[in-house]
């Protein structure tokens, strides 16, 4: 085998490897597609039995306990969502309180900015809105 034949053989072998890799990738993708289909159908089967359980049917053996686990998880999600809402409400209330503090009790006590007309709390030296020195 001369040099060119050798190089030709090497190139062919590299090409074969590349084709093989592409072929493997395609097959793996096809396998994954089928696995996804299986999972979707497993879920559908689960939902079918869970709906029956929710309708009051007594499931046998393990299915009953799987359904109870689902209920427990669903209940836990509701509790966690309530916790989230509580934290959000507290944050909102704190924000509202802070916003209220910034507004003077009454217009008569406040210092009106000559530049922009913003009402500033008594004792403030500079306008909270535009920064102008207050008199």
Per CB under 5 A, residues contacting Zn ion are: 113, 115-116, 118, 127, 129-130, 132
How far apart are CB 123 and Zn ion at their closest, in Å?
Answer: 16
Rounded to the nearest whole angstrom, what is the least distance from the CB of residue 111 to Zn ion in the complex? Answer: 10
Residue 111's DSSP bridge partners are 120
Between 14 and 116, name the residue whose CB sits nearer to Zn ion: 116
CB atoms within 10 A of CB 71: 13
The answer to whether residues 120 and 134 touch, using CB atoms and an 8 Å cutoff, is: yes
Give the residue with the Cβ less far from Zn ion, 67 or 127: 127
User: Least distance from C-beta 72 to Zn ion, angstroms?
Assistant: 58
52/118 with CB nearer Zn ion: 118
Contact between 122 and 109 (Cβ < 8 Å): yes
**Using CA atoms, how far apart are residues 68 and 98, in angstroms rounded to an integer?**
45
């Amino acid at each position: 085998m001369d040099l060119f034949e050798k190089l030709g053989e090497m190139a062919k072998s590299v090409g074969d490897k590349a084709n093989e890799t592409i072929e493997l990738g395609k097959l793996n993708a096809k396998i994954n597609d089928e696995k996804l289909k299986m999972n979707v159908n497993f879920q559908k089967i689960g939902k079918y039995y869970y709906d029956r359980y929710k309708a009051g049917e007594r499931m046998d053996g393990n299915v009953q306990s799987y359904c109870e686990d689902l209920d427990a998880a669903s209940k836990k999600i509701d509790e966690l969502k309530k916790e989230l809402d509580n934290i959000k409400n507290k944050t909102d209330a704190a924000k509202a309180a802070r916003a209220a503090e910034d507004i003077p009790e009454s217009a008569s006590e406040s210092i009106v900015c000559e530049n922009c007309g913003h009402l500033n709390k008594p004792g403030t030296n500079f306008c909270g809105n535009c920064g102008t020195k207050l008199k």
